[in-house]
Amino acid sequence: MTPYLFIVAAWLVFGVLHSLMASKRVKEWVRLKMVSFYHYYRLLYNLLALLTFGLVLGAHRSAPAEYLWVPYGWMSYLGATVILLGLVVIGMAVRQYDLSEFTGLDVFRKSHASSASSLIRSGILRYVRHPLYSGTILISIGLFLFTPTISNSLLALFTMLYIRIGIYFEEKKLIDTYGETYQHYQRQVPMLWPLPRRS
């Protein structure tokens, strides 16, 4: 298997497993069939996502450094700036969430309860609906600008593609959960980039 086919295969494994485990149907099946295990579902979901994304990163690292063009000094500075901006956006986004709940580690808290949280619209979430994804896209683009290899171009491409598909399904679940409240939020706040919107 060529390095680039390995990259595609790794993304497919990550995407399929991540999407299946995030689906309402699979979660409901686990909730009904494996009641005691269901409390650990989010934690396992995140661990599996980390492992399979590690496979993705390993595939990219194993690919040869075949440059699409000779990287210029200014482009490296631009790439580093975009990476830094992405990290700042992710840092701002993380502050809006309960990290123990987000990661699934709250299952180990004595006061753990599986109650639905309210829709968060503070901080950076006033400007974009999915800042974690915005930051991730910026980092992938920055890496490509910093080191414009075929592997990094595929990383940026597949990151953007997977995030866009993931947002489609994620927002369907958010509408199911929050109804008109989330639909109003969609109309008021851009998806990924804080661009002005027509009223």
| pLDDT tens for each residue of 21-31 | 888 888 888 88
**pLDDT value at position 197?**
61
H helices of 23-130, where?
24-33, 35-38, 41-62, 73-94, 99-103
Examine the domain organization and report whether 97 and 57 are in the same domain.
no
**Vertex 133: Cα angle to 123 and 71 (nearest 5):** 120
Give me 33's structure tokens: 């069939």
Q: 146-176 in b/e burial notation, b at 16+ Cβ within 10 A?
A: bbbbbbbbbbbebbbebbeebbeeebeebee
Examine the domain organization and report whether 50 and 114 are in the same domain.
no
Examine the domain organization and report whether 196 and 161 are in the same domain.
yes
Please compute the mean of the pLDDT values over residues 163-178 and round it to a whole number.
91
CA 149 to CA 117: how far, in whole Å?
Answer: 42
Examine the domain organization and report whether 123 and 42 are in the same domain.
no
Examine the domain organization and report whether 87 and 149 are in the same domain.
yes
**pLDDT value at position 33?**
84
Examine the domain organization and report whether 115 and 157 are in the same domain.
yes
Single-letter amino acid code for the residue at 24: K
Please compute the mean of the pLDDT values over residues 169-179 and round it to a whole number.
91
Examine the domain organization and report whether 43 and 94 are in the same domain.
no
pTM for this structure?
A: 0.90
Rounded percentage of the chain residues whose pLDDT exceeds 90: 65
**pLDDT value at position 50?**
94
Examine the domain organization and report whether 190 and 150 are in the same domain.
yes
The boundaries of the domain holding residue 95 are: 66-199
CA 127 to CA 191: how far, in whole Å?
Answer: 9
| pLDDT tens for each residue of 35-91 | 888 888 889 999 999 999 999 999 999 999 999 998 888 999 999 999 999 999 999
Rounded percentage of the chain residues whose pLDDT exceeds 70: 94
160: left (phi over 0), alpha (psi -120 to 50) or beta: alpha
Q: pLDDT tier at 175 (50, 70, 90 boundaries)?
A: very high
Examine the domain organization and report whether 43 and 141 are in the same domain.
no
| pLDDT greater than 90 at residue 102 | no
Examine the domain organization and report whether 15 and 105 are in the same domain.
no
CA 173 to CA 196: how far, in whole Å?
Answer: 26
**pLDDT value at position 195?**
80
Name the domain boundary from 63, 79, 100: 63
| pLDDT greater than 60 at residue 164 | yes
Please compute the mean of the pLDDT values over residues 119-133 and round it to a whole number.
94
Examine the domain organization and report whether 81 and 162 are in the same domain.
yes
